[in-house]
Amino acid sequence: MTIKNGFVGILVANRTQRKQVLSQYLTHNAAGVKLLAFTPSSINWKRQTVIALHRVKGKWSIGRFPLPQVVYNRWYGTDPKLIERLGAAIGGNHCFNHINRLNKLDIYNKLARWLAPHLPESFHYDEADVLNMLERHKEIYFKPLLGSMGRGVYRAEMNPSGDVRIGQHYFAPKTVTNDHLFFQEHMKKLVSSTPYIVQKGIPILQIDGHAFDIRSLVQKNEHGLWSVTNLVSRIAYKGSFNTSIFDKTCLSDEVLNKLYPPQKVHAIMTSIYDISLRIAEIIDTETDYHLGEFSVDIALDSEAHPWIIELNGQPQKALYRGIPNRSVVYSRPIQYAKYLCRNGSL
């Protein structure tokens, strides 16, 4: 198959996701590449083909195609062996976001050498050490090592009298105890056998009683270079620390302009742009990840200092509904895929 502008497959987890995902990118396919959506089970390794959904003459159709020139991975929690096999077939660097469930501690250790002033202290969860960390920081978060969207996140806070308040999603606690042994045992039960990290709590800045974060979307463009697409804020429900369960979203400058004068807003946003691009550079030089996009969740403290809370290897696209100029969120990965089609083995 000869296609002028490139032949790009979007890998999704199952057949029910094909139309939803593909339609988003088709709408914003300014690069003019041939786009299709396929699943892991649709690959025929012997014939080097995929059965995929595509759009032809305004209609949805299922067809058999050669393996795409480039694969954009939107299958979260990918099977590494399958991705390795796919890379071997189409070229190792022609499948991007091949790793998208990022290891929080691995990312922390990679970034800490360069961005320590912006990273809250983080450790592997250890039952023996957790009380010491709480006593030192007074507020800590328990996060699944490979988790996403705030699932399984717990917050613990120690007040001056030594009482420990434990909550999930909300600052208001579900459990309060002054028995520190009980606290350790309780957290052990909550964490169970799932690998967790413990992260120092940041006194996250709020607006009108709502916690908010700043999500920096970082994507490679048609020249294969990193750029920051936008900064969007998720505003949590009142009383909640979990911005993944948000009340609304908006461009971050809308929130910041309500809190600071224009010059301060410009300085904050410039700092976040610089941090985001520095992270992208570190990922490219210090890891073997091939990412075409990722997002950085940043919290501000009371001094407007930016803290890197988390990186996401598969940025949620739904949160950009209603955001001005959101088409670039979808068009940029396809532009990068076209770049890879044209540039052969990198």
- Tokens describing residue 136: 């030192």
Residues 6+ away with beta carbon under 8 Å from 278: 114, 115
How confident is the model at residue 1, as a pLDDT? 44
Q: For the residues 207-236, what does the mean pLDDT come to?
A: 97
pLDDT of 2 > 50? The answer is no
Q: For the residues 16-40, what does the mean pLDDT come to?
A: 94
**Shared fold status for 104-118+205-313 and 122-200:** no
- Domain map (residue ranges) of the chain: 7-96, 104-118+205-313, 122-200
- Tokens describing residue 345: 């083995």
How confident is the model at residue 346, as a pLDDT? 47
How confident is the model at residue 344, as a pLDDT? 61
- Let me know: does 49 contact 64? Beta carbons within 8 Å: yes
Q: For the residues 194-206, what does the mean pLDDT come to?
A: 95
What is d(CA 23, CA 160) in angstroms, rounded to the nearest whole number? Answer: 54
Q: Which fold has domain 104-118+205-313?
A: D-amino Acid Aminotransferase; Chain A, domain 1 (3.30.470)
Nearest to 330 by CA among 1, 31, 16: 31
Q: For the residues 264-293, what does the mean pLDDT come to?
A: 97
How confident is the model at residue 77, as a pLDDT? 79
What is d(CA 28, CA 24) in angstroms, rounded to the nearest whole number? Answer: 7
Q: Hey, what CATH class is 122-200 in?
A: alpha beta
Hey, which residues does 197 pair with through a beta bridge? 124, 143
Query: Does residue 6 or residue 52 have the better pLDDT?
Result: 52
How confident is the model at residue 3, as a pLDDT? 59
How confident is the model at residue 149, as a pLDDT? 77
Report helix, strand or coil for 255. Answer: helix
CA dihedral sign, ordered 281, 285, 291, 296: negative
pLDDT of 55 > 80? The answer is yes
Q: For the residues 126-144, what does the mean pLDDT come to?
A: 94
Q: For the residues 40-65, what does the mean pLDDT come to?
A: 96
Q: Exposed e or buried b for every residue in 246-280, given b needs 16+ CB within 10 A?
A: beebeebbebbeeeeeeeebeebbebbeebbbebb
How confident is the model at residue 40, as a pLDDT? 96
What is d(CA 230, CA 328) in angstroms, rounded to the nearest whole number? Answer: 9
- Tokens describing residue 9: 């497959």
Residues 6+ away with beta carbon under 8 Å from 243: 150, 211, 212, 213, 234, 235, 236, 297
Angle between helices 327-342 and 15-27 (to 10 degrees): 90
pTM confidence score: 0.94
- Let me know: does 300 contact 309? Beta carbons within 8 Å: no
What is d(CA 331, CA 31) in angstroms, rounded to the nearest whole number? Answer: 8
How confident is the model at residue 148, as a pLDDT? 83
How confident is the model at residue 6, as a pLDDT? 87
